[in-house]
Amino acid sequence: MTFSDKTVAKRRWRAMLYSLLAIIALAMILPSLGYVAAWAQSGPMVIGYESRDSNPRADMWRDARQSVAGTTDQSGPYTTNVLINNSGEIWREIRSGREGVPSPLKRFGGWIMLLSLAAIAVFFAVFGRNKIEGGREGLTVPRWTMYERVLHWFVAITFIVLGITGLSLLFGRTVLIPVLGARGFAAYAQVAMTVHNFVGPAFGVALVLMIISWLGVNIPKRVDLEWLKTFGGYFGGGHAPSEKLNGGEKLWYWIGVVGLGLAVVITGFILDFPNFGQDRATMALAHVIHAGAAMFWIALFFGHAYMGTLGTEGALEGMTTGRVDTAWAKQHHNLWYAQLLEQGVKPMPAEPPRGGPPPSAKSVTGSST
Ligand code: HEM
Q: Assess whether the C-beta atom of 319 lies below 6 angstroms from ligand 1.
A: yes
In 3D space, the residue among 5, 86, 135 whose CA is nearest the CA of residue 280 turns out to be 86
Shortest-distance Cα residue to atom 20 of ligand 1: 152
User: What are the Cα distances from residue 364, in Å, to 138, 207, 240, 346?
Assistant: 10, 36, 21, 9
* Contact call for residues 368 and 359 (beta carbons, < 8 A): no
**35 within some domain:** yes
* Contact call for residues 314 and 130 (beta carbons, < 8 A): no
131 CA to middle of ligand 1, Å?
19
Shortest-distance Cα residue to atom 7 of ligand 1: 308
The atom of ligand 1 lying closest to the CA of 324 is 15
Which range of residues forms the domain containing residue 167?
A: 3-349
The atom of ligand 1 lying closest to the CA of 316 is 10
**158 within some domain:** yes
Q: Assess whether the C-beta atom of 245 lies below 6 angstroms from ligand 1.
A: yes
* Contact call for residues 168 and 176 (beta carbons, < 8 A): yes
**164 within some domain:** yes
Shortest-distance Cα residue to atom 22 of ligand 1: 305
143 CA to middle of ligand 1, Å?
13
154 CA to middle of ligand 1, Å?
11
The atom of ligand 1 lying closest to the CA of 312 is 10
Q: What b/e readout covers 52-69, taking b as 16+ CB neighbours within 10 angstroms? A: eeeebeebbeeeeeeeee
**365 within some domain:** no
**367 within some domain:** no
Shortest-distance Cα residue to atom 38 of ligand 1: 249
pLDDT tens for the chain, 369 residues long, are: 455 566 766 777 777 777 777 777 776 666 666 666 666 665 554 444 444 456 777 777 776 666 665 554 444 445 556 666 777 888 899 998 888 888 999 999 999 999 999 999 999 999 999 999 999 999 999 999 999 999 999 999 999 999 999 999 999 888 888 888 888 899 999 999 999 999 999 999 999 999 999 999 999 999 999 999 988 888 877 788 999 999 999 999 999 999 999 999 999 999 999 888 888 889 999 999 999 999 999 999 999 999 999 999 999 999 999 999 999 999 999 999 999 999 999 999 987 655 555 555 554 443 333
78 CA to middle of ligand 1, Å?
41
Q: Assess whether the C-beta atom of 252 lies below 6 angstroms from ligand 1.
A: yes
Beta bridge partners of 348: 140
Q: Assess whether the C-beta atom of 287 lies below 6 angstroms from ligand 1.
A: no
Is the sign of the CA dihedral 43, 44, 45, 46 positive or negative?
negative
**366 within some domain:** no
**111 within some domain:** yes
Q: Assess whether the C-beta atom of 316 lies below 6 angstroms from ligand 1.
A: yes
**Helices H / strands E in the chain, number of each:** 13, 3
Q: Assess whether the C-beta atom of 315 lies below 6 angstroms from ligand 1.
A: yes
Q: How many domains does the chain have?
A: 1
Shortest-distance Cα residue to atom 40 of ligand 1: 253
**364 within some domain:** no
Phi, psi of 325 (to 5 degrees): -65, 145
pTM: 0.80
CATH number at residue 21: 1.20.950.20
